[in-house]
Amino acid sequence: MTDHDAGTAIEALQHTVDALLDPPGCEWNRAQTHASLVTYLLEESYELVEAIEAGSADDLREELGDVLYQVVLHAGIAQRAGEGFGLAEVVEDVDAKIRRRHPHVFGADTAADVDDIVRLWSAAKAVEKAGRESAFDGVPLGLPALSRVQKIAGRAGEARGAGTRRGTFAADTELDWGRHLLAEVDEASARGWDAERALREALRERERALRAREKSLRTREKSLRTREKSLRGEEEWRGAPQPE
């Protein structure tokens, strides 16, 4: 299938969704909102992950289509709700974002290796997210707890310019580490504890501490800048000719 064929196929899908959402359409689809569809979006996303990790090419093709349908459906709902965008704007925005974040392909920058590519991507993203006060802003609260743990740990490493501390358990392979985690979850179950809830609570505690440390560093840096400015002003005053 050519790019033109892909565009035609997506346009056909949009027409199908339009028929569902416009009168008389489908009563069930017309009653849906972004919030009511979250469960289905998560379900389709997890089914896509399963197809990637354990399915066939046919499974992957089907699940990619199901996720794409969710995107087109949400865009159609947004357009009809007067939210200021539809599928075209969604596609245009993500295309522009990907181009901005690959300046070594679409701009004047060069990248000697993958590390350079990651650096350019991170720099472009930092410009886009310049309004964020914390390195931990933007980590979705809806992520599964283990995923959030890894995201927060990664951001913490970036914030202090070093890797996160390795735990005392030594694993030779990823599977070994998975077995260790499974054993820990089994222990929580034996004690009647909710492992996900416990992990979320511990993660919130760590995130509060990290944010407090980050805020303290910003305050200290601001204080130092103010002091340096005051000292420069005093030196300039002393160096200026004094009235007789």
Radius of gyration of the chain (CA): 26
Query: Two tokens at 243?
Result: 């009235």
Read off the pLDDT of residues 114-170 as tens digits, 9 standing for 90 and up.
999 999 998 998 898 888 878 788 888 888 888 888 788 777 776 555 444 555 677
Which residues fall within 8 angstroms of residue 124, CB to CB, at 6 or more apart? 100, 101, 103
Q: How confident is the model at residue 180 (pLDDT cuts 50, 70, 90)?
A: very high
Query: Two tokens at 234?
Result: 């005093």
For every residue of 199-223, DSSP letters joined together read: HHHHHHHHHHHHHHHHHHHHHHHHH
Residue 235, pLDDT > 90, answer no
Local structure of 194: helix, strand or coil: coil
Q: What is 3-96's CATH topology? A: Helix Hairpins (1.10.287)
In this prediction, residue 162 carries a pLDDT of: 46
Read off the pLDDT of residues 188-216 as tens digits, 9 standing for 90 and up.
888 988 888 888 889 889 999 999 999 89
Q: Where in the chain is the domain with CATH 1.10.287.1080?
A: 3-96
What pTM did the predictor assign? 0.75
Between 122 and 106, the higher pLDDT residue = 106
